[in-house]
Structure 1
Amino acid sequence: MALPKVLVLVLAGGKGSRLELLTEQRAKPSVPFAGVYRLIDFPLSNCEHSKIADVWVSVQYQPQSVNEHLANGRPWDLDRTTGGLMVLPPFQGSERGGFTEGTADGLWRQSQLVRQFAPDALVVVSADAVYKLDYRDVVDAHLGSGAEVTMVTTEVAADDASRYGIVEVGEGGKVTGYAYKPDEPATTTATNEVFVFSPGPTLDRLEALSDEAGEDGLEDLGDSLLPAQTRDGLARAYPLNGYWRDVGTIESYWRTHREFLDEDPPLDLDDPSWPVHTRGGRHSAARVLDDGQIENSLLSGGTRVSGNVRGSVLSPGVVVEPGATVVDSVLLPGVRVRSGATVTRAVLDDNVDIGAGASVGGDGDIALVGREARVADGTELAAGARYPEPEG
């Protein structure tokens, strides 16, 4: 029996403003994670291991940052003569041309291409979470359920639930209630931005909703599409019982890195049965020099450590000079921490230069320094600082 024809649409066009300075010059899916990876590596690796070869990536904001990383899709076995990876930029030439205004609007704009491809199941995913999931398992459950949409769900903390689409689940996994980012969540069961749709009925529904919305537009999937499917009794839940973390805020981005410093991390990124793949780097081995000291940290290729590093993640090319101290921090590619400087509970973006004797962060909220910023010698940036300060 032939496998169902599955199309995965990765929504990679959002600005990711909650990541603040980290997404000023890159799209959220291309934000580095755990030293050598990018956030988009997780859904693409899931596609590879799920044996799904037709993957479209919708880009918009800072698309070059995503395109440079994707190349031709080779790391995820998507460089194929037929099928494989296809990048969908904004376009002109039809009534559906223009810039996307939300995830549902983006799906509506690509609906003609989806209809032409004629998949049996359409998997729509975001690229801002860390997890492993066999999409084929979800597709198989969906196709046997009679649902129009299957929402993959996870449990979240009660004080964080209002950030997500929240569902109420009844007998047999039927979704009986759905609310998008509610002020007062009814449960702590959240959609984790992985949806399997029946393409024909879903796209027909989008057409009708678009006509009703008029100039207001369709916005996000959670604004009108998912509530309508739920009201009609055509939504099912598929619980993901394994690890899943949304890293769409600075706090969650930093905290998730901390989890991967544990002796037994929540995901084995090198698991032979399900490795997370990424575009290969061009860095030599990491080196600990002179009096360098490392404790409970992740070091990527090309790092040079002569100072003291504890509880931190160092991306490729990071340099920590003699007498410098880095504690509980995430340093992205090319960062240099000069002699005598101290970095504590901070995230430093690409090519940041922390001057000699400077102090960044401390006990309290996470400090954030934007790409290529130069923090002058002896400068003190307190806990929770943003440097340079955001405009407005």
Structure 2
Amino acid sequence: MRLPRTLALILAGGKGSRLGALTEKKVKPALPVAGTYRLVDVALSNLVHSHVSDVWVVQQYLPHSLNRHLANGRPWDLDRTHGGLQVLPPYEGTEDEGFAEGNADSIYRQKDLIRDFDPDLVLVLSADHLYTLNFLDVIETHLGQGADLTMVTTLVDEDPSRYGVVQTDDDGRVTRFDYKPERPEGRLVAGEMFLYDADRLLEALDLLHEQEGGLEDYGDDLVPWFVAHRTVVEHRLDGYWMDMGTLQSYWTAHLQVLDGDGIVLDDPAWPVLSAQPQRVPARIAGGAEVHRSMVAAGSIVRGTVEHSVLGPGVVVEEGATVRGSVLLDDVRVAAGVTLENVVADVGAEIRTGRHGGPGAVTLIDETGAVSATEDFDRGATLPRDV
């Protein structure tokens, strides 16, 4: 069977405001994950392993840190003469110029480029999630069902009102889609991976823009229109999936990696690829204690670290204790400091005090100050020790 020509659009322009200080100076897809990875690595790695090599990254908010990491696609073998990775920033000069008002509008503003590329299928992804998925299986579902849109779905344990809630019939056809409903019916949600027939997508974008005078988020207009007027089916993702949109989910995902309950980063058959930082190996000093943790290159541990993830260049001084925490690049924890259930932003220097505790996750910003506290959602899947 000839594989249809598939164009992947990674929507990487959102601000990620629910993550507070973590995304004040960097876009969410550039957030560190498990020490040495970046969130966008997950989408790119799944695409490359699925043999989807035409990948466009649509940018808007604070693109600089993400562009440095993308490195023209080299870490994923996407720096190619034909096809490969392209970065699409906002621009001026045509009727589709300027900044997008939402993710559906982001797609609309690329419609002329999509039409010129002339793909058979358009795969639209958010870069905000952790998961493992072979997109060739999604394409097979799409073709086998004769779909105009195939959405990847998954069951969640936490409050589904954060997501697009999906209803299906026994044949897997989507019969209803409610975007962030106040009273969700069921736990089946859209995983923000959508495979469109290219012609039907372009037709819908033009029609909706003409009817409504503009587009916003996919859940407000684009996907409901497809459900009402076209054939929409689900492709069920039964494995791990985590939306990294909140402080709790960001913290939870890291500790689940430690527990073996999260995304698998080092599967030899399906590794997460990344541009690894060039630093010396981590150093564990005599007298230091490290248990059930990940310690990235360039880090120095002289104190106690338990069930935590330390990014590159983190320093934990003698007499400091770090438990159940995620410390991003170049965080310094001074002697006498205790951290429990903390996420510390890049470059934070924590000089004194005890921060965090049971029942909530605490965010420390780059100044070393507590900037947010988020209580655990007991309906969510939390790390084992919580």
* TM-aligned CA distance change 1:364 to 1:265, over 3 Å: closer
TM-score, normalization by structure 2? 0.94
Q: Is 1:364–1:384's contact at 8 Å kept on the other side of the alignment?
A: no
Match of 2:313 among 306, 314, 317: 317
Q: Which residue of 1 aligns with 2:187?
A: 188
Residue type matched to 1:349 in 2?
A: D
Q: Does 1:365 align with 2:345?
A: no
Once residues 274 and 60 of structure 1 are traced to their aligned partners in structure 2, the CA distance between those partners, rounded to angstroms, is: 30
Structure 1 residues 383 and 369 mapped into 2: Cα distance closer, same or farther (>3 Å)? closer
Give a deviation string over 1:98-141, Cα, whole Å, max 9, x none. Answer: 00110100000001100111111100000011011111211122
Residues 344 and 360 of structure 1 are in contact (CA less than 8 Å); yes or no, is this contact kept in structure 2?
Answer: yes
2:290, 2:306 within 8 Å by CA — same for their partners in 1? yes
Q: Take 2:56 and 2:72, find their aligned partners in 1: how far apart are those partners?
A: 12
Cα distance in 1 between the residues matched to 2:263 and 2:86: 28
Q: Could you say which residue in structure 2 is the equivalent of 1:389?
A: none
CA distance in 2, matches of 1:176, 1:2: 30
2:311 counterpart letter in structure 1: S
Q: Following TM superposition, by how much is the alpha carbon of 1:365 offset from its aligned partner in structure 2, in angstroms?
A: 1.9
2:43 matched to which residue of 1?
43
Q: CA RMSD in A?
A: 1.5
Q: Distance in 2 between the 1:226 and 1:353 partners?
A: 45
The whole-number CA distance in structure 2 between the counterparts of 1:195 and 1:101 is 19
Decide whether the 8 Å contact of 1:156 with 1:188 is kept in 2: yes
CA distance in 1, matches of 2:132, 2:121: 20
Corresponding residue for residue 384 of structure 1: 373
* Distance apart, 1:291 and its partner CA: 1.3
Name the counterpart of 2:255: 258
Q: Which letter maps to 1:291?
A: G
> Is the contact made by 2:90 and 2:98 (CA closer than 8 Å) also made in structure 1?
yes
Q: For the Cα contact (< 8 Å) 2:20–2:372, is it kept in 1?
A: no
CA–CA distance in 2 between the matches of 1:93 and 1:162?
39
CA distance in 1, matches of 2:7, 2:257: 31
CA deviations over 1:177-216 (Å, ceiling 9, x no partner): 11000001111100000000001111111111111212xx
Q: Which has the higher contact order (CA 8 A, sep 6+)?
A: 2
**Residue of structure 1 equivalent to 2:174:** 175
Q: How far did residue 382 of structure 1 move?
A: 10
State the Cα deviation string for residues 119-178 of structure 1 (Å, max 9, x = none). Answer: 111000000110111112111221232221100000012x41000001101031100111
5+ residue gaps, structure 2: 375-386
> What are the residue-to-residue correspondences of 1:172-251 with 2, within 5 Å?
172-214=171-213, 217-251=214-248
Q: State, as a whole percentage, how many aligned pairs show the same letter.
A: 48
Q: Aligned letter for 2:22?
A: L
Q: How far is 1:233 from its partner?
A: 4.5
Q: What is the CA distance between 1:268 and its match in structure 2?
A: 2.4
Question: Match of 1:388?
Answer: none
Which residue identity lines up with residue 305 of structure 2 in the other structure?
Answer: V
**CA–CA distance in structure 1, aligned partners of residues 216 and 238 of structure 2:** 29
Q: Which residue of structure 2 aligns with residue 286 of structure 1? A: 282
- Give the drift of 1:383: 8.6
Match of 1:146 in 2: 146
- 1:83 paired residue number: 83
Aligned partner of residue 79 in structure 1, secondary structure: coil
2:18–2:245 CA contact under 8 A, matched in 1: yes
- Structure 1 gap ranges (5+): 376-380, 386-392
What's the TM-score, normalizing by structure 1? Answer: 0.93
CA distance in 2, matches of 1:233, 1:2: 24
2:298 is the alignment partner of 1:302: yes
- 2:98 corresponds to which letter in structure 1? G
What amino acid does structure 1 have at the position aligned with 2:167? E
Partner of 2:264: 268
* Residue of structure 2 equivalent to 1:328: 324
Superposed displacement of residue 232, structure 1 = 2.1
